[in-house]
Amino acid sequence: MEPRSRPNTRSGPDPLDFLAVDNQLSEDERAIGQAVRRYAAKELAPHVRDWYARGTFDRSIAPGLGRLGLLGMHLRGFGCSGTSAVAYGVACRELEAVDSGLRSFVSVQGSLAMFAIHRWGSEEHKEEWLPRMARGDVIGCFGLTEADAGSDPGSMRTSARRLGTDWVVNGSKMWITNGEIADIAVVWAATEQGIRGFVVPTTVPGFTTRAVRDKLSLRASVTSELFLDDVRLPADAMLPGAAGLRGPLSCLNEARYGILWGAVGAARACYDEALTFTTLRSQFGRPLASFQLTQRKLADLLIAVNSAALVALQIGRLKDNGGVHPTQISFGKLANVRAALDVARTARGMLGAAGVTLDYAVMRHMANLESVVTYEGTEEMHMLALGRQLTRISAFR
């Protein structure tokens, strides 16, 4: 295995923040990023290789993330930190620089399950669940996708019908992060009044899960199927504010926002590893970094990472100012994950055979990003969303 640090002999711009993007952050945003980076390096990075190799996720990290204020951090009240959108994005960036599975856990907890309750739930829902979820004492999952309803959630088969004052839910959900370890599930189901959301404690009779095994990506993350067999819920389990697809799609938009920042972290980590490796490894009597082709690749990675960072920051500022459009978030998710995948694939090649082992992070990031490019909207769906915005013509409806 190659040495993992290179001598700091450079002057001029920081190789990892060449355009000084972090200088544009507020003092609080910068402090949050630094705190998350330190915590992730100390508490998470030493274990992630083993979690990935074994295909496990350690639920016990949740309270630590809660103490750091990362769970639902961009939500206000009910024990949540109420930070800026940019601060939340910077935290996602630092978590995904370690592993996409860690950012995915925080995204699902805060931007899907907690956001759904915060935005669409009753006061009783918020008071009962959000403080405990913010502490990491209760873990949530988000049940929207089905085996035959991925990009087209309106075709879901999971249904809820009234039985007296109660609801009875039947159906199944697929590719659900946190499913097996969740204490509550926000489940979306078709009713006679349209699609509605329900808060489902995972201990209710008829609710079961099954792990998705043999994953080659996001292995340090729990992915599950959910099964609801005559799950009976009281009337107040329904999220009162969400009617139709507007509810779940608003949650997905929140999650996509975290993803477009997280991709910057994964890309930066791969670029950093390629720069370190090629600086320290010698062939033909000279460092790999001294060859013209290597320097061209490093320059390409530098541009991709810093361009993605600028995209993330701009979209974050738009979000904080209340002026971000869903298609701008689609732009960021599409552009930044695509860039991160290109960076990871190039960096993997620059490490040669060493790049396919877990001694280095590039292949792990590359495999994870193959999931990231698919979930919360595939490349194709984001392209069509942008095309529809530009032409005012829908290509998929």
Q: Is 199 helix (H, G, I), strand (E, B) or coil?
A: strand
- Residues listed for the chain: 397
Please name the residues in contact with 48: beta carbons below 8 A apart, sequence gap of 6 or more: 98, 99, 101, 102, 220
- Helix-strand-coil split of the chain, %, nearest 5: 55, 15, 30
376 is catalytic: yes
CA–CA gap between residue 323 and residue 355 (Å, rounded)? 41
**52 in Cβ contact with 358 (< 8 Å):** yes
- Which residues are paired to 191 by β-bridges? 194
Rounded to whole angstroms, what are the CA distances from 231 to 141, 145, 312? 17, 18, 41
Which tokens sit at 63?
Answer: 């309270």
CA–CA gap between residue 55 and residue 285 (Å, rounded)? 40
Task: Give DSSP secondary structure letters for 375-388.
Answer: TTS-HHHHHHHHHH
Buried/exposed code over 119-144 (b: 16+ C-beta within 10 A; e: otherwise): bbbbeebbebbbbbbbbbebbbbbbb
Q: Is 167 helix (H, G, I), strand (E, B) or coil?
A: strand
Task: Choose the catalytic residue: 123, 376, 379, 380.
Answer: 376
Which tokens sit at 322?
Answer: 């209340």
Catalytic residues: 376
